[in-house]
Structure 1
Amino acid sequence: MLAHDDITIDPALADLYRDLHRHPELGFQVHRTAGIVADRLGSLGFDVTTGVGQTGVVGLLRNGPGPVALLRADMDALPVKEDTGLDYASTVTTTDQDGKTVPVDHACGHDLHTTCLLGAAEVLAHDTASWSGTLLLVFQPAEELGAGAQAMVDDGLYTRFPKPDVVLGQHVAPFPAGKIAAHPGPAYAGSDSLRVRLVGKGAHGSMPQASIDPIVMAAATVLRLQTVISREIPSTATAVLTVGSVHAGDAANVIPGDAELQLNIRSYDTDVRQHILDGVDRIVRGEAATAGAPQEPTITEIERFPVVVNDPVALQKTLDAFAAWLGADKVMDPGAGAGSEDVGIFATAAGAPLSYWLLGGTDPSLFTTGDMTDPALRTVPSNHSPHYAPVIEPTLTIGVSALVIAARTWLPPA
């Protein structure tokens, strides 16, 4: 058994992690993973409910009087072809929600999140003298779609189970394993992904005068969209607008009839977000009108993540416990990040404070200073990269221990 202070961690968790990594599942399709989670929680004495929000799993363990702490892990993977060279790398392909065959990889580390929470469940279930109250463990599907947390809430998470007094969770990140990082207040950006369809008029490539070229319309739109951030948002505000996909036509000598853009907006402030969305709408419609488009463009939402806001008081309480355990030099403030998460939905829906932190998962030997200024942060593989895979140790031990310590901090013995 591996020990960290008084926390004993089953070494078989590493094999579970490798198994989950080999068998990733997309979105709401996390049937195998959810089955493993349910079986393990049941064997530990948790009351287990499956199928919450389609494929979510909830484990409930009551241990006398006290508050309710929700500990959350996400379970889904990404449509990415893994290129890590690991002997437990994924070779899985599946059909996505659009009916396309895609490779699947746990390139964001949700397999580690799931393993860590199962490990923490085991520690806490076997040591009920160290805490009092109620553990509400939430294993969530479809985080990558920005839909899983809301699906679980909409499926009666807080009418079927106790409302939490705090929401706790973690996300593995590409900084040194053995360290923890968190930022109070708006910690992770809100994200809006949109699909824009511009309609023109197709023609032969030799007869542009007979067309209304949607490619030119799209190009003008892409360029104009950049001015929303550079010329309309105050320089003190933080926001990003990225056009990540442009598609039109299939042949060099044919002017197509339409073009599609996919774009993503990241922001931290609701007024800034709305200004950007209004600007996108104005520019897309304006460029279509200028081009003489025969019909209005359409703008549809692909997915949306709200801003993740860490409650400063709740976060500090958790981080103080981490500092006492790991040492203050191992706990960092990374500043606000532009990544997005839907974990905050659990806190907002419950009216509970959120305490959410980052877990270092990269080989510490690759870093020099080991803090958020380290040059290696620009070169080591990051989440969503086909090369991303956390080192199993000490990441797994620290991840399990962090969840146990956070739970004990919020559920002290009576």
Structure 2
Amino acid sequence: MNTTELGIYFYKVLHKTPEKSGEEYITRNIICSYLKRLPNIEIIFNNTEGIIAKLSKNSTNKFNFGFRVELDAVETADATLHHSCGHDAHMAALLAAITYISKNYKNYSDNLIFIFQSSEEFGNGAKKMVNILQQLNIVITNIFALHNAPEIEPYQIAVKSGPTLSNNVTIHFNVELSSSAHLGTTCNVTHITDIFQKINSFNSNEIRLEISKIVSDGSVSSKPTHIELILSIRSFNYDLKDLINIEKSIIYTIKDCECVKKVSVKYLSKHYQIKNSTILFNRLKQFSNAVFLTAPNSLSSDDFSEYHAISTNQLYYFVGNLYNDNYKHLHTKYYRINFNFFKTAISSIIFLAYNTKAR
């Protein structure tokens, strides 16, 4: 089968095994079992942080090209796991590209490294993987990551130079509520609504708040004593420390709500804005098998920026994955992969790997 067909095959296999961040055991086993069969590919790390594989003609720890994809799936609102963000497609595209590269080994003059990273959704997986790379004394000159974009056609690539995606703070909130019914302080609908209205008041054109996974101990016959929720605060223009200050303001505001006894928080992830390299941006634009679009300022986030600690240049780009207007909603059951995505994704990786020395 050709590389596109191989990518589709890997996708169908990986799509069946969605796993939580930090618990991608079956996924890692599938990937490692396959990589071990490829010529000229060596797995140099495999653990809960992810997998690192290399194609190298010497024993150096310096690599001219690196590529990162994500291992984890998404836990949706109904508490089920789905590959509804496309990480399975990203892994599949990289596996197909590695297959081609390994079999055409002599055509690649540079040392290449491939990273299958755990916990992109939750848990700051990139930070943990970067720590592993530093322990191994690995340095990467140019590192890339792609994501599918269900809003654009599969033959299109959206990319920009400079700031890309947003700074993001994701926090788990635990709000304890008053429950002394005889004192008349038991929470009611008005009190609960007030909490969410106060949180929503921090939304603006430049700051986006998203609430997910709301949990309460209330029932038909008893009122809640606590509410838990996950809150993401994102901005393209505000830096990370500004978002943390906003989170602190939200805590103070919630504490002032009637019936609130205590507010505690736990940080789930902190993502810095990605700074795309102009050198790598210009290099990708030489890829002739796609139509290029300018990626808009986005309130999405990704932990890929952590790789700046071990790499000189980073580039994050989007490959089109439009299925149709009914199936383009990431992180929902209404999401599908357009198999034409694989042709552009795989060939772009092969192109970048072959042209690792940015000129």
TM-score, structure 2 length as denominator?
A: 0.87
1:351-406 Cα shifts (integer Å, max 9, x gaps): 4211111111224xx5xxxxxxxxx5xx54222121212122x2222211110101
> In structure 1, what residue type is equivalent to 2:43?
V
8 Å Cα contact 1:221/1:283 also seen in 2: no
8 Å Cα contact 1:67/1:411 also seen in 2: no
8 Å Cα contact 2:143/2:311 also seen in 1: no
* Structure 2: gaps spanning 5 or more residues: none
> Which among 101, 108, 120 is matched to residue 143 of structure 1?
120
2-side partners of 1:282 and 1:10: how far apart? 49
Partner of 1:309: 275
| 1:245–1:72 Cα change, 3 Å | closer
8 Å Cα contact 2:49/2:128 also seen in 1: no
1:106-138 Cα shifts (integer Å, max 9, x gaps): 111111111111111111122233321210110
For the pair 1:197 / 2:174, whether they are aligned, the reply is yes
How many angstroms does 1:102 deviate by?
Answer: 4.3
2-side partners of 1:79 and 1:244: how far apart? 11
> Which among 336, 349, 352 is matched to residue 312 of structure 2?
352
| 1:277–1:133 Cα change, 3 Å | same
2-side partners of 1:228 and 1:353: how far apart? 34
> In structure 1, what residue type is equivalent to 2:90?
H
| 1:29–1:198 Cα change, 3 Å | closer
1:307-347 Cα shifts (integer Å, max 9, x gaps): 2221223222222x22xx225xx11112122221112212x
> Which among 317, 333, 340 is matched to residue 294 of structure 2?
333
SS in structure 2 opposite 1:260? strand
1:279-311 Cα shifts (integer Å, max 9, x gaps): 442343244246475x54223223322222212
2-side partners of 1:37 and 1:252: how far apart? 47
Partner of 2:337: 390
For the pair 1:160 / 2:136, whether they are aligned, the reply is yes
| 1:229–1:119 Cα change, 3 Å | same
Partner of 2:26: 32
How many angstroms does 1:13 deviate by?
Answer: 3.8
1:129-162 Cα shifts (integer Å, max 9, x gaps): 33212101101111111422122122x2133153
> Which among 17, 24, 43 is matched to residue 11 of structure 2?
17
8 Å Cα contact 1:38/1:50 also seen in 2: no
8 Å Cα contact 1:180/1:360 also seen in 2: yes
Partner of 2:160: 183
SS in structure 2 opposite 1:48? strand
| 1:356–1:276 Cα change, 3 Å | closer
> In structure 2, what residue type is equivalent to 1:21?
H
8 Å Cα contact 1:187/1:310 also seen in 2: yes
Q: What is the aligned length?
A: 355
Partner of 2:187: 213
2-side partners of 1:318 and 1:244: how far apart? 35
SS in structure 2 opposite 1:63? coil
1:222-279 Cα shifts (integer Å, max 9, x gaps): 223333344xxxx6xx2212333554452456444333343221112454x4344324
* Structure 1: gaps spanning 5 or more residues: 3-8, 82-100, 367-375
For the pair 1:49 / 2:44, whether they are aligned, the reply is yes
Partner of 1:58: 52
Matches within 5 A, 1:238-249: 238-244=206-212, 246-249=214-217
Partner of 1:227: 201
8 Å Cα contact 2:22/2:49 also seen in 1: yes
Bigger radius of gyration: 1
| 1:292–1:178 Cα change, 3 Å | closer
> In structure 2, what residue type is equivalent to 1:339?
S
8 Å Cα contact 1:198/1:214 also seen in 2: no
> In structure 2, what residue type is equivalent to 1:151?
K
When the two chains are superposed, the root-mean-square deviation of aligned CA atoms in Å is 2.9
SS in structure 2 opposite 1:11? helix
2-side partners of 1:123 and 1:36: how far apart? 18
> In structure 2, what residue type is equivalent to 1:282?
S
| 1:153–1:213 Cα change, 3 Å | same
| 1:159–1:411 Cα change, 3 Å | farther
